Amino acid sequence: MKKQKKNKMPKDKKIRINKNKFGAANWLTVTRLLLMIPFLIIMTAMFALQTNGSKTEFWYEGILLKGSGHPIWQSVLYWLNVTIFIVAMITDFVDGHIARKTKTISAFGKVFDPIADKVATNMMLIFLAMLNFTYWPIVILFIVRDIMVDGTRMYASKKNIKIQANIWGKIKTILVSFAILAIAFSGPWLTHLKDKENNDKSYVLIYVNLTLIAGLIISWVSGIIYMTKYLKGIREDLVKELEKQFDNKANENSDNKTTENTSDDHHTAEDSVPLVEDQEEAKAQVDSTQNA
């Protein structure tokens, strides 16, 4: 019977595969995280340039975002950060699509993709809250939710507990991204909105934030569903671990008892040796007496 020759992979192809082992989807995730560095720098510079230290006020004049102190720079920096956030959201969509299409879903992506998504989202929410375009309680609730969910997920991943994504999480991502962009584009205009009688109508900004509030509610619903499933898996894992520890302890106690019994038998055998020797000596004395 002839042996079939195995097709060897060309060396250049092997090298190419090794180089691309990390995957395009993972590189996009890393890119999204790195984008938050210039985002943070721009946000810091933007507030450092303003002269009104107590409150940040920007408004639209045509297409230009104006404010006190450095209107042009504030406009440029503001739209740079909005653009960075949009690019980050695009990479979030693209990396997931690539990972599913090429079937290159990795452990790195499972851990860092949601982290990168939440870092970008929460950074943008903080940015908008500092501009008074949204409200701090909403931002804080988003951050608390993400810390709880990601903390639970990271612990579960170490225990190899896998939970499938639910539809609520996907709806939340789309809704929150849309709400953030709506606030980013309308906030500067709505904060200085006036009616025909020149009365302040900035309260209209609350209505724009309703979409974000809806996203917050769905975010907590999806988070509770995730944590319930994760905690169930964690609880089952802890029960198994406790049972394993109990079995190990029982086996250890059994081994100790076996060792003690073996030791007692050994001592008994040693004690019986002098007794046999004494009996033989006594018998020898009796025999010698009779012979005498």
**Is 67 a residue whose pLDDT tops 60?**
no
Longest dimension (CA), the chain: 147
Alpha-carbon span 252 to 131, nearest angstrom: 64
Q: Two tokens at 147?
A: 């810390």
Q: Which residues contact 122 (CB under 8 A, 6 or more apart)?
A: 139, 142, 143, 146
Reading phi first (left if > 0) and then psi (alpha if -120 to 50, else beta), residue 69 is in left
Alpha-carbon span 243 to 23, nearest angstrom: 40
**Is 93 a residue whose pLDDT tops 70?**
yes
Once rounded to an integer, what is the mean pLDDT over residues 93-98? Answer: 82
Residue of 18 and 33 predicted with greater confidence? 33
Angle between helix 107-130 and 71-102 (nearest 10) = 160
Once rounded to an integer, what is the mean pLDDT over residues 120-142? Answer: 93
Alpha-carbon span 55 to 34, nearest angstrom: 29
| Range of weakest confidence among 92-96, 134-138, 193-197, 203-207 | 193-197
Pick from 77, 58, 55: nearest CA to 66: 58
Alpha-carbon span 227 to 94, nearest angstrom: 27
C-alpha to C-alpha distances, 221 to 184, 226, 229, nearest whole angstrom: 25, 9, 13
Q: Two tokens at 71?
A: 């209107």
DSSP 200: B
> In residues, how long is the chain?
292
Alpha-carbon span 175 to 229, nearest angstrom: 23
Q: Considering only CA atoms, give the Rg of the chain.
A: 36
Once rounded to an integer, what is the mean pLDDT over residues 4-15? Answer: 49
Q: Two tokens at 112?
A: 């860092």
**Is 105 a residue whose pLDDT tops 90?**
no
**Is 149 a residue whose pLDDT tops 60?**
yes
Q: What structural domains and CATH numbers belong to the chain?
A: 21-244 (1.20.120)
H helix runs in the chain, sequence order: 11-19, 24-49, 71-102, 107-130, 136-158, 167-190, 205-291
pTM of the shown model:
0.69
